[in-house]
Amino acid sequence: MLRWPRQILFGDVDAMFASAAAVKDPTLTGKPIAVGGPPPRGIIAAASYAVRAFGVRSAMPTAEALRRCPHLQLIPPDRPLYRRLHDDMRRVTDRLFPMTEWGSIDEFYADTTDLQTRHPDPRLLAQLVKDSIFEATGLRCTIAVATGKTVAKIAADASKPDGLAIVEPGREAAFLLPQPLRALPGIGPKTAARLEPFSIKTIGDLLDPRWDQVLARMFGHRLLWIRELAQGRDREPVIGDRESKSSSHETTFERDTADPAFLEDVLRGFLRMLARDLRQEGLAAEGCTVKLKDARFAVTTRQRRFSHPLNYDPEMWPTVRQALHELMKPHAQYRLAGLTLFSLVPIPAGLYDQRRRKAVQAMDTIIARHGAVIGLGGVCDDDNE
């Protein structure tokens, strides 16, 4: 069997919340159920495949869903159940893969390039993952294997439910060609609607030189990147996250930015919030990772260790700030910034002297009551920014 230069496996549970309800109560299996809040104001959070046939979709008002499918059975969300199933799935992926990136509670990427010696056939590996997750949780998922994250995700979406898709190296462009435009990340329903009059409907249409000018006008400098992606060229790395041992936050900006002061403000805000969470949980972090995604969707990260475990943000900030500045490239425009605090450990004895511990605790109580509108300035002498 041919060795792939790069191999990414993507997994996605089918109708996670609705399927979870059926795991808890098997009599609901195959029934027209949806998870969501009651009308008039409730929204559908997840629809089982049995009600999708009636046109019920997630994010639809429950009242509308009930009009389309009057015998729909509404199930209230059960977060502890989802959490438990997620943890069970994580135990499976931790056992199978050296590193997994969970994009949400029910979706993950794993870089399986180095597993090819042990699992030379990607189809057998994908089946093993499917079976192992089903065995551990009772949840069915769709698995796709490709040379990049984007193609793997699109292949899985096209193979749901209970699917298994392999896009061999070199077959990416041919696979993407007939796929609908909206399947491509970065093309939302609005953009798709604007392209419709030109009968640009599939990913393949994006490559048609007839539309060069139309597309250049619409996408500007992003066109190059979109066309790369449309041919399945995508080097975005799988970034491992160990949720139990790290804590992170990220945001996508309304418009791309090259402003270091703005990025500093954003990360400083994340750090304040994450550090407060650590203090409340009695934890400290051994290091931080700053993540930036540029206007072409290229992700870069920089990792730094603290001299010792910390959970007081003014002490952590110089290291985070340094990582940010090492990462920023001149003239680059950024669309997303994120911060992870990793290697979380129980607070070592003697991290603070008594006086400062009291001051920080008092501040956390006020923040908990009134939100994070007040800083720590004035309470501790080293926080004077």
Give the residue numbers marked as catalytic. 107
CB of 333 to Mg ion, least distance (A): 31
By C-beta, is 158 or 223 nearer to Mg ion?
A: 158
By C-beta, is 12 or 111 nearer to Mg ion?
A: 12
By C-beta, is 157 or 294 nearer to Mg ion?
A: 157
Contact 148, 236 (CB under 8 A): yes
Residue carrying structure tokens 């900030």: 317
> What is the C-alpha end-to-end distance of the chain, expressed in Å?
59
CB of 142 to Mg ion, least distance (A): 8
Residue carrying structure tokens 């798709």: 192
By C-beta, is 57 or 302 nearer to Mg ion?
A: 57
Contact 239, 292 (CB under 8 A): no
Binding segment for Mg ion (CB under 5 A), chosen from 4-12, 92-100, 109-117, 194-202, is: 4-12
For residues 254 and 270, give the distance between their C-alpha atoms in angstroms, rounded to a whole number.
17
Binding segment for Mg ion (CB under 5 A), chosen from 7-15, 50-58, 323-331, 365-373, is: 7-15
CA–CA distance from 99 to each of 113, 147, 373 (Å)?
11, 16, 37
Kindly tell me which residue out of 8, 9, 13, 126 binds Mg ion, with binding defined by CB under 5 A.
13
By C-beta, is 47 or 284 nearer to Mg ion?
A: 47
| φ/ψ (deg, to 5) at 208 | -70, 120
For residues 45 and 249, give the distance between their C-alpha atoms in angstroms, rounded to a whole number.
23
**12 binds Mg ion, rule: CB under 5 A:** yes
Q: Rounded to an integer, what is the distance from CA 364 to the centroid of its chain?
A: 29
By C-beta, is 152 or 275 nearer to Mg ion?
A: 152
**75 binds Mg ion, rule: CB under 5 A:** no
Contact 191, 170 (CB under 8 A): no
Q: How many CA atoms lie within 13 A of 33 on its CB side?
A: 20
User: How would DSSP label each residue in 273-287?
Assistant: HHHHHHHHHTEEEEE
By C-beta, is 71 or 79 nearer to Mg ion?
A: 79
For residues 174 and 168, give the distance between their C-alpha atoms in angstroms, rounded to a whole number.
10
CB of 19 to Mg ion, least distance (A): 9
CB of 51 to Mg ion, least distance (A): 15
- In our burial notation (b when 16+ CB lie closer than 10 A, e otherwise), range 120-138 reads eebeebbeebbebbeebbb
Site for Mg ion in 272-311 (CB under 5 A): none
The two tokens of residue 57 are 């979709």
By C-beta, is 10 or 297 nearer to Mg ion?
A: 10
User: Residues touching Mg ion: how many (CB under 5 A)?
Assistant: 4
CB of 54 to Mg ion, least distance (A): 19
Pinpoint the alpha helices (H) of the chain. Answer: 16-24, 49-52, 62-68, 79-96, 122-137, 149-158, 172-176, 189-195, 212-219, 222-230, 260-281, 313-327, 354-370
For residues 385 and 376, give the distance between their C-alpha atoms in angstroms, rounded to a whole number.
10
- Please tell me the chain's helix, strand, coil percentages from 3-state DSSP, rounded to the nearest 5: 45, 25, 30
Site for Mg ion in 79-138 (CB under 5 A): 106
Contact residues for Mg ion, defined by CB under 5 A: 12-13, 16, 106
